[in-house]
Structure 1
């Protein structure tokens, strides 16, 4: 776990820096500098682009991680990587032609009940392409075991740029329409920088040679589109579908709540950047012992860290909403539902990496398609009944069933579970912490209240984890910090 812990820590710090900047943008700048309608529009544009991303990427970012380590010569690796550069165009070029020919019909359908969307369909499309190729170049660098710079670009760069754009909007240097186009340009610039960095690690040579196992590569990358689409549908389709049923400003309220809860998944995202290629390596080498060890350790470590973040959010959420516009407090229930969903998701550890890099990905795709359809159906049922809370209910049910099915499948095929005796202890610690601290409030300013409760929770939770040695890896890190 040495390289995993090292780069995961760096990635976690970078990701939280990005989320901190993003929190300022989402919770304060967007809500104060932009109308709810246009904030909802920006949220809708980015969510729809994220739904399209795995389709436009043609599954290439996952394919690079799975197959790169199986090629042993530099010549073979180069031919493989060059092929990966051009495969997304198989989708992007026809999609561009279709959008150009049928623009009016597509834009009208995407707009739903909010006609403001129609003017920004090309922004959605171009942003989706940028997202796709960014992931391709990021995967290019990750298989070189270099994930830190890419993680900085993924989590920090665009948020800093958007913060600057929001201040430009506030000082009337930009109109709101120009801001939206500028955000698209930021994502274009981010992709270009990631490309240059990836090429600095491994410059492609366009002299091609025969690629071994080409049929398996093409079959995998074609099918893995479904897997990536399923994951993004479950995560992003709620915002897309809200646009079809309710006023677009509600997407802003929903988006803020989701953003707060999504902080819990930061450690998982950070660890995944390095765990995924390492998992692929163990699978290619058929090293089941190391694979099982990585599975259990990644699950426990993520559950401990995510549990702590879950507590900080749940125990401080009422004070957080006092700092935001009153309209956004409508998302309080959403924060509870999605936060619990993210906490359960952390129990999977590197489960996704095992499934997507193994020979059993086809079965997972079938499960994923079923659950993606279920997500859409649940949204159709719950959103008209419960509004934005209904979208959260639908997401929770879908994610829970999807996660459960993946745990069962990995156990059936690999005979291993991510849980250990310490998993139950951590769960009990989380419950006790909620019981002790949730109703313990202070009569000060919300910021001071959040700071005080955070300090108390941190001391209590950290002390229990350390004294009872729930995780050897986390204990080692704490010992290292204490010695310094």
Structure 2
């Protein structure tokens, strides 16, 4: 866990920096300076682009990580060239097809909200930028260098959007300028990431077919669907809200989702380095080390994300007192999606195990089934319950998908992520949650959040430290808070 702990900690810092900027954007600038319908439009465009991205990338980002360590020398250059050009084989004919049926596509996307119509083309631009950013990011992760990419992934575009929002607030740019500017920010991010990746190891473009090309194409085609499944379970709710109800509801839902998404930050930070490390363990058949990584990553993420869940759930009523009253409609969205994110963190490096093994086909079948379920549930619940219906559908689909993946890894690798400490942590979360949720300070909401967060954090981390629930967190507290040497070293 040495390299994982080192780079994960750096990634965690940069990821939270990005989330801090994003929180300023989401909870302050958008809410106070953007009309609800335009905020909803931004969320709809970005969700649509995110849904399209896996199809444009053709799974190249996952394929690159899985097969990169197999090749060396000239064969590695051939493989990398193939990965860079593969998306174009799909993108070019798809662009021609979309150009022919563009009017029909625009009519479909703008059927409920006419405000979408002038900006549909931005979905394609942003999706393209996202796709090639992910490929360049995967190349840098294959070199076990994830920190700069994580800065670009978590900080750059949020900082760019913040600058655009400030320009908008100062009336330097119009709403249309802002929306076009978002597309420019994502294109810049892609260009900088590609430049960095090629700086790490300059590729030599060789137009040839790599050996193992049949396995590569088969994996890429299937991972398109598998990757799309993961994205669709997360993003289909906002897309369907934009299709089924007035678009300002996407704004209320976006705020709720963003608050809950804080819980996913530790996993996102750790996954940047765990994916290539897990791929190496699988390629070298080092299953004992893989099992150890599985349990440690699960427990560490569960403990960290559990604290974040407590802080969000126990402070959510005070937080909504600060925001525009209209956004309090997202209260139950926050609670349900927060629980779903917590369950997802229990998986540890489960996704990395499945996507880099021979059993990714099973994930594909499970994922397609659960996406169908998610779409059906959204169609049932959104017209009746609005954004709460979308949250219920997402919760059921996400939790079902998570437990299905745990079962697959257990059946195929005879390993699971749970330990006695997992159970102890669950008891701790329930106990502190019941103790602090119903206890509110009758003072300024910001002060109430700060004071309650301090008390919860101290209580939680004290128990985790005293009972040594996680060696990694025990060592981290010793190294960075108590400044003393840990006996786990």
Q: TM-score, normalized by length of structure 1?
A: 0.99
SS of 1:168's equivalent in the other structure is helix
Counterpart of 2:433?
Answer: 434
Quick check: 2:340–2:399 contact (8 Å CA) kept in 1?
yes
Q: Deviations over 1:438-464 (max 9, x none)?
A: 122112111100100011011000000
Aligned-pair RMSD on alpha carbons?
0.9
Counterpart of 1:5?
Answer: 5
Counterpart of 1:235?
Answer: 234
- Is 1:25 the counterpart of 2:25? The answer is yes
Return the offset for 1:161. Answer: 1.1
Return the offset for 1:212. Answer: 2.2
Quick check: 2:263–2:309 contact (8 Å CA) kept in 1?
yes
Counterpart of 1:314?
Answer: 313
Quick check: 1:272–1:350 contact (8 Å CA) kept in 2?
yes
Quick check: 2:82–2:209 contact (8 Å CA) kept in 1?
no
Counterpart of 2:101?
Answer: 102
Counterpart of 1:417?
Answer: 416
Q: How does 1:111-190 map to 2 (within 5 A)?
A: 111-190=110-189
Whole-angstrom distance in 2 between the partners of 1:222 and 1:409: 21
Whole-angstrom distance in 2 between the partners of 1:261 and 1:101: 40
Return the offset for 1:208. Answer: 4.6
Q: Deviations over 1:23-78 (max 9, x none)?
A: 0100110011110000000000000000011111000000011111122x222211
Counterpart of 1:340?
Answer: 339
SS of 1:91's equivalent in the other structure is helix
Return the offset for 1:380. Answer: 0.5
Q: How many residues end up aligned between the 2 structures?
A: 483
Whole-angstrom distance in 2 between the partners of 1:79 and 1:201: 17
Counterpart of 1:202?
Answer: 201
Whole-angstrom distance in 1 between the partners of 2:370 and 2:183: 31
Counterpart of 1:360?
Answer: 359
Quick check: 1:75–1:209 contact (8 Å CA) kept in 2?
no
Q: TM-score, normalized by length of structure 2?
A: 0.98
Return the offset for 1:209. Answer: 5.5
SS of 1:87's equivalent in the other structure is helix
Whole-angstrom distance in 2 between the partners of 1:27 and 1:78: 45
Q: How does 1:458-469 map to 2 (within 5 A)?
A: 458-469=457-468
Deviating 4+ runs (over 4 angstroms): none
Q: Gaps (5+ residues) in structure 2?
A: 485-489
SS of 2:204's equivalent in the other structure is coil
Q: Deviations over 1:241-285 (max 9, x none)?
A: 011211000000001000000110000011100000000000000
Whole-angstrom distance in 1 between the partners of 2:89 and 2:270: 31
Counterpart of 2:487?
Answer: none
Whole-angstrom distance in 2 between the partners of 1:208 and 1:390: 50
Whole-angstrom distance in 2 between the partners of 1:90 and 1:378: 35
Whole-angstrom distance in 1 between the partners of 2:206 and 2:170: 51
Whole-angstrom distance in 1 between the partners of 2:178 and 2:80: 35
Return the offset for 1:207. Answer: 3.1
Quick check: 2:137–2:197 contact (8 Å CA) kept in 1?
yes
Q: Gaps (5+ residues) in structure 1?
A: none
Whole-angstrom distance in 1 between the partners of 2:142 and 2:102: 38
Whole-angstrom distance in 1 between the partners of 2:322 and 2:58: 42
